[in-house]
Amino acid sequence: MTAFARRRVTGIILVVLATILLTVLTAVFDAAFVSTRGVHGWLLAAMIVFLACYQIRKRLTMLPLGTSALWLQLHIYIGLSTLPVFFLHTDGRLPRGPIEIFMLACYLIVFLSGAGGLLLSRIIPPRLRNRGGEALYERIPGYVRRIAAQTEKLISTTAEESVIRDLFEARLRPYFEQPANFWRHVMHSQKHCVLLLDAVRDAGRFAAEEEQLLLNELTELVQQKDDLDYQYAMQSILKYWLFIHVPLTWALIVMTIFHASVALMYS
Amino acid sequence: MSLPPITRPKRWDMPFSQEGGHDADISDEDVEELLQLESFRNIDEKGFKKSVPLRDILRNDVRIQTYRAGDVIVRHGDWGSSAFLIMSGAAAVELDRGDGGVVKRQTKKKRRSLFQSFAQLWQNNRHREVRDREAAGQSNLRSEDGVTRLYLSDVSAVLEDSKSATLEAGQWFGELAALGRTPRAATVIATDRSRLVEIRWQGLRDIMRFDRNGALKGQIDNVFRERALTSFLKTEPLFADLGSDDLRQLVSECELVTFGEYDTATPFRDLKSTDDSISDEPIIAEEGERASAVFLIRSGTARISRSHFHGRKTVGYLNPGRAFGLSEVIWGGKGDSQPKYEYRLSAIGYLNAVLIPATVIEALANRKVISGPSGSAAGEYSESPVQEHLLNFLVDQHYVQGTATMVIDLDRCTRCDDCVQACAVAHDNNPRFIRHGPVSGRHMIANACMHCADPVCMIECPTGAIHRDTNDGLVLINESTCIGCAQCANNCPFDAIRMVEVSTPSGGVIVDAKGTPIMEATKCDLCQDQHGGPACQHACPHDALERVDLQNLFDQGVISR
Ligand code: HEM
């Protein structure tokens, strides 16, 4: 077992143990007719505030507040622990008022995006390594432009009327011009590339002999560009899932403050 | 916006005699006095370049200092970039090195206060590479050259307790650390009121290079043999308990061997670019040949490899202080009358080693004065926890030089760039590395200064702006003495030093009288002034980035994955 796997197992066991402990305590207090809802509420609010503080920690890199990696570990397991606390707090009942429904939606989306984002953060990096060279995200559009320029140069050497030029105008230029096939890459589909390479191969049947070499080069460039598109799509996902997770976190915090004030007022 | 031009910095803008708060100019009379000294008297001035004449070296790279009895001149373990020659008086070299010696190290951290750290959030400049030229032009304090001296109140009593040797007028010391880019090997304390010549290593190097008579070079080499070799041999555990007679005998039979060019980074750079560097490396000891000697590495790195079908397999590498061939000579010798090396030892770049003939070791072992390692060579070297392809990559590309190499585990890196952002915050909004670099398997060696064990970047720096920190050996650039010559950037085999145009706080580029922008070298300083160590590693959420000391391959998280 790797050190990471060990850490994961330990974290999960701790979450399960904490959940069992909390459930047992709740049952004991319930049996004694002592209400635990308020306690669960405050606990949940504190956990959510702590989770949100991770963003602040990330900005305060210059202060000795513990490593970001340690914070993320706490974030993940406290984040996961919010689910059982949430259940205990709501007693498993669905909310009624629109504000509570919105709050539930925020919480669920934040929770699910967090869990999903974490999963993607573990799955995507090894895949990035296996497709094309390592490319810095900000430089990818530049690389794409370079490949596009290269193809334009190659095409400029062909005759005005040629099967390659036709193919280029119809299929290749739009493909080479900018990052493409984002969703296909997200879905891990290769269909677009297979179709494009088929088209290039088909053109080969009508190409002059001296044009075959050019077609080979184009095939190579199609593949290079596809790798870059893949890198671009995957790195975009790695960056942009946080655009769901974080804004809704702050919506959730605002709702929590509101919800807690109302609860305090009427208790 | 037009800015008043400033003068382009040059070598010797800041004479050594003015550096770090010193202010005793070297006058023409001083130069004459220096030229009368035994060490400088026989130098042939004609061999010196017109731009670097001997007299200018003495005027600018030398300072004359007076010490009182008890003053600590150099401390064991400090990184020094100057050598000393005693003009008058005397000093004691402390030989006993247990527990850091008589002068305890004060760990002086130039760390920011918590508030200063926090204030980086809003005080960092909006513009890139902003420098305060006004402040920079003034005094340039470097901790290792600070005039504030350590002092031992009862020097004779202290020295009585520890073994020491006396240095007298005409003798050199500190040249080893200065020229070899290694820490000071011993503490030296003035035992009398003494006048000392202190010379920058660049100056000493130039004199040794241009003096056709080679008098000073010969003198320095002899000093090394006499003094440093003994203390170096004693660092090897095998010889730690040798009596002084045996030690003297050992020193006289040792040979000093070097591989690669001493004072240029170029061969190192070339080596790195070859695909199959292993076959180009100078061989120190050959696998299968008679184990006729033991090698102790003094500086540089050596590769241990063995043949594997038609190629060679890297098994490990040796850093300074480690020995090769001991088990073969001592252990292998018992059953076999002709012990053979089980591995090949080859030099990676510039390497300096001490060769001890097998006969000497055998004689000592036979008399039971020393006892060798308790196993075979195979057991000694084959335990690296690092996967072979990574080990090959690290050795082939010379990354094993790094004491703080930035290694990124690409299987865990989400490319979030939190590391780059944290680096920028710690450096006035200028990130000091690029999250990009050569890849081997899941590991990327990012483009950040690795703080090499043997920093070849320092070799040609004309002003000594690039230096090692006195306390922790980090390779740092002194912004106020950097003249932007780009020698360090060109010498760095890892392209970890970047030349940048510097600007004023309002964002205007600083130019010289001809209107050419002033450049400065910049690189990672391992966040020396920050809390919590290197910001990049601190900020990585996924345990993907680590600064790894590749001089020690064991117990290293990221590279053993
Ligand atoms: C339920 C309440 C949660 C809240 C309020 C919350 C809030 C946050 C915040 C504010 C950040 C900082 C983002 C940034 O500035 O970059 C963050 C990051 C993150 N959260 Fe959550 N989170 C929650 C739950 C979870 C859960 C349950 C998980 C996973 C199981 C999770 C995983 C992550 C991960 C992986 C990151 C990003 C680390 C990185 O790559 O930079 N979160 N979260």
Domain co-membership, A98 together with A17: yes
Q: How confident is the model at residue B233 (pLDDT cuts 50, 70, 90)?
A: confident
* Nearest neighbour of A63 by CB, restricted to B114, B411, B416: B114
Q: Give the one of B444, B535, B539 whose C-beta lies nearest to A134's C-beta.
A: B444
Q: What is the pLDDT of residues A86-141, one digit of tens each?
A: 999 998 888 888 989 999 999 999 999 999 999 999 999 999 988 888 899 999 99
Give the confidence band of B73 by pLDDT, cuts at 50, 70, 90: confident
Residues A39 and A86 in one domain: yes
Who wins on pLDDT, A39 or B311? A39
* Residue-level pLDDT at B181: 66
Between the CA of A75 and the centroid of ligand 1 the distance, in Å, is 7
Whether residue A67 lies within 8 A of chain B, CB to CB, comes out as yes
Q: Which residue of A has its CA nearest to B112?
A: A62
Chain A CA closest to residue B425: A62
Q: What is the mean pLDDT of chain B?
A: 81
- Of A81, A109, A239, A249, best ligand 1 pocket probe by most atoms within 8 Å of the beta carbon: A249
Amino acid at position B548, single letter: V
Between CA B332 and CA B376 the distance in angstroms is: 7
Closest ligand 1 atom to A79 CA = 27
**B212: exposed, middle or buried (Cβ count in 10 Å: 0-12, 13-18, 19+):** exposed
Residue B84 has pLDDT above 70, yes or no: yes
| Chain B residues touching A239 at Cβ < 8 A | 415-416
**Residue-level pLDDT at A232:** 95
Percentages (nearest 5) of helix, strand, coil residues in chain A: 85, 0, 15
Q: Does the beta carbon of A156 lie under 8 angstroms from any beta carbon of chain B?
A: no
pLDDT of residue B236: 81
The residue of A8, A54, A55, A61 whose CB has the most chain B CBs within 10 angstroms, and thus the best one to mutate to test that interface, is: A61
Listed range (A213-217, B128-132, B199-203, B514-518) with the worst mean pLDDT: B128-132
Whether the CB of A249 sits within 6 Å of ligand 1: yes
A77 and A119, same domain (yes or no): yes
Check if A191 has its Cβ closer than 6 Å to any atom of ligand 1. Answer: no
Select from A65, A126, A136 the Cβ nearest to the Cβ of B436. Answer: A136
Compute, in angstroms, the gap from residue B428 CA to the centroid of ligand 1. 28
A81 and A197, same domain (yes or no)? no
**Class of the domain covering B237-383:** mainly beta
- Cβ distance B355 to B327 under 8 Å? no
Mean per-residue pLDDT, B79-101: 77
Choices 1.10.1380.10, 3.40.50.460, 2.60.120.10, 3.30.365.10: CATH for B37-103+150-234 = 2.60.120.10
CATH of domain B391-559: 3.30.70.20
Look at residue B134 and tell me whether its pLDDT is greater than 80: no
- Give the distance from residue A84's alpha carbon to the nearest chain B alpha carbon, in angstroms: 25
How far is B147 from chain A, CA to nearest CA, in Å?
32
Partner residue facing B442 (CB), from A68, A124, A129: A129
By C-alpha distance, which of B4, B19, B24 is closest to B138? B19
B386-400 pLDDT, tens per residue? 788 888 888 888 888
Q: Quick one: pLDDT at residue A56?
A: 96
- Taking residue B281's Cβ as centre, other Cβ atoms within 10 Å add up to 25
| pLDDT at B266 (0 to 100) | 45
**Cβ contacts (< 8 Å) between B538 and chain A: which residues?**
61, 67-68
* Cβ of residue A214 closer than 8 Å to a chain B Cβ: no
CA distance B264 to chain A (A): 33
Report how far residue B86's alpha carbon sits from residue B72's, in angstroms, rounded to the nearest whole number.
14
Q: Is the pLDDT of residue B119 over 50?
A: yes
Q: Which tokens is B204 given?
A: 């000493």
User: B422 vs A61: CB contact, 8 Å cut-off?
Assistant: yes
Please tell me which of the candidates B414, B531, B557 has its beta carbon nearest to residue A64: B531
State the burial class of residue A32 (Cβ atoms within 10 Å of its Cβ: 0-12, 13-18, 19+). Answer: exposed
What is the sign, positive or negative, of the torsion defined by CA atoms of A171, A172, A177, A179? positive
Q: Spell out which residues of chain B touch residue A125, defining contact as CB-CB under 8 Å.
A: 410-415, 544
- The domain in which residue A248 lies consists of 3-131+242-266
Interface with chain A: mutation pick from B543, B545, B546, B561, highest number of A CBs within 10 Å: B543
A vs B, Cβ pairs < 8 A, gives 89
Cα B259 from Cα B363, distance rounded (Å): 28
Cα of A54 vs centre of ligand 1, distance in Å, is: 7
Please tell me which of the candidates A61, A122, A128 has its beta carbon nearest to residue B538: A61
Give residue-wise pLDDT tens across range A136-155. 999 999 999 999 999 999 99
Residues of chain B with CATH 2.60.120.10: 37-103+150-234, 237-383
Q: Return the residue in B538, B540, B558, B559 with the most chain A beta carbons within 10 A, the one to mutate for interface testing.
A: B538
Q: What is the C-alpha to C-alpha distance for residues B177 and B454, in angstroms, rounded to an integer? A: 12
- A137 in contact with B, Cβ within 8 Å: yes
Which residues of chain A make contact with B421, given a CB cutoff of 8 A? 61
How far apart, in whole angstroms, are the C-alpha atoms of residue B448 and residue B466? Answer: 16
A63 to chain B, any CB pair closer than 8 A? The answer is yes
Pair A99, A78 in one domain: yes
Q: Are residues A67 and A183 in the same domain?
A: no
Please give the average per-residue pLDDT across A41-59, as a whole number.
96
pLDDT over 60 at B383, yes or no: no
Are A215 and A156 part of one and the same domain?
Answer: yes
Q: In the predicted model, what is the mean pLDDT of residues B377-384?
A: 55
| One-letter amino acid of A147 | I
Mean pLDDT of chain A: 93
- Of residues A61, A71, A124, nearest to B535 (C-beta): A61
Q: Nearest chain A Cα to B538, which residue? A: A67
Based on the fold, state whether residues A162 and A71 are members of the same structural domain: no
Residue whose structure tokens are 């999250």: B435
pLDDT in tens, B180-191: 767 777 888 888
Identify the pLDDT of residue A226. 95
Please report the pLDDT score of residue B397 as a whole number.
85
Query: Quick check: CB of A117 below 6 Å from ligand 1?
Result: yes
- Atom of ligand 1 at shortest range from CA of A238: 40
Same domain, A9 and A125: yes
Give the tens place of pLDDT for each residue, A159-212. 888 899 999 999 999 999 989 999 999 999 999 999 999 999 999 898 888 888
Chain B residues at the A interface, defined by Cβ less than 8 Å, are 114, 117-118, 120-121, 410-416, 418, 421-422, 425-426, 434-436, 439, 442, 444, 530-532, 535, 537-544, 557, 561
Residue B515 gets the label, from left (phi > 0), alpha (psi -120 to 50) or beta, of left
Q: How confident is the model at residue A261 (pLDDT cuts 50, 70, 90)?
A: very high
Q: What is the mean pLDDT of residues B11-17?
A: 85
Residues of B in contact with A72 (CB under 8 A): 541-542
pLDDT of residue B516: 84
pLDDT on residue B68: 85
Q: What is the ipTM of this complex?
A: 0.92
What crossing angle do the helices spanning A209-240 and A191-206 adopt, rounded to 10°? 170
* pLDDT higher at B419 or B299: B419
pLDDT score, position A67:
95
Whether pLDDT at A59 is above 80: yes
Per CB-CB distance under 8 Å, the chain A contacts of B561 are 2
Q: Are the C-beta atoms of A69 and B537 separated by less than 8 Å?
A: no
pLDDT band at B213 (very low <50, low <70, confident <90, very high): confident
Which positions in chain B touch A126 (Cβ < 8 Å)? Answer: 410-411, 442
- Whether the per-residue pLDDT at A85 is higher than 50: the answer is yes
Strand partners, B468: B475
Predicted pLDDT at B100? 46
Among A84-88, A178-182, B94-98, B125-129, the range scoring the smallest mean pLDDT is B94-98
DSSP 8-state secondary structure symbol assigned to residue A229 = H
B108 versus B359: the higher-pLDDT residue is B359
Rounded CA-CA distance A157/B333 in Å is: 72
The minimum CA-CA distance between B122 and chain A, rounded to whole Å, is 12
Query: What pLDDT is stored for residue B375 in this prediction?
Result: 55
Whether B442 sits inside 8 A of A58 (CB atoms) is no
Cβ contacts of B530 on chain A, cutoff 8 Å: 62
Domain co-membership, A123 together with A7: yes
Q: What is the pLDDT of residue B5?
A: 64
Q: What is the mean pLDDT of residues B148-160?
A: 65
B411: nearest CA partner in chain A: A126
Report which secondary-structure segment, H or E, holds B196.
Answer: strand B194-200
Nearest CA in chain B to A121: B414
Interface contact A62-B530, CB threshold 8 A: yes
Total domains in chain A come to 2
Q: What is the distance of C-alpha A138 from the center of its chain?
A: 18
Would you say the CB of residue A256 lies under 6 angstroms from ligand 1? no
Give per-residue pLDDT as tens, B284-343: 999 999 999 999 988 778 888 888 888 888 888 888 888 899 888 877 655 556 788 989
Task: Choose the mutation target among A62, A71, A127, A245 for the interface with B, i.e. most B CBs under 10 Å.
Answer: A62
Q: Is the minimum distance from the CB of A109 to ligand 1 under 6 angstroms?
A: no
What pLDDT band is residue A249 in, cutting at 50, 70 and 90?
A: very high
Please classify residue B182 by burial: count the beta carbons closer than 10 Å to its beta carbon, then call 0-12 exposed, 13-18 middle and 19+ buried: buried
**Separation of alpha carbons A119 and A138, rounded Å:** 24
pLDDT at B378 over 60: no
Q: Which amino acid is at A215?
A: L
Tokens of A250: 């702050």
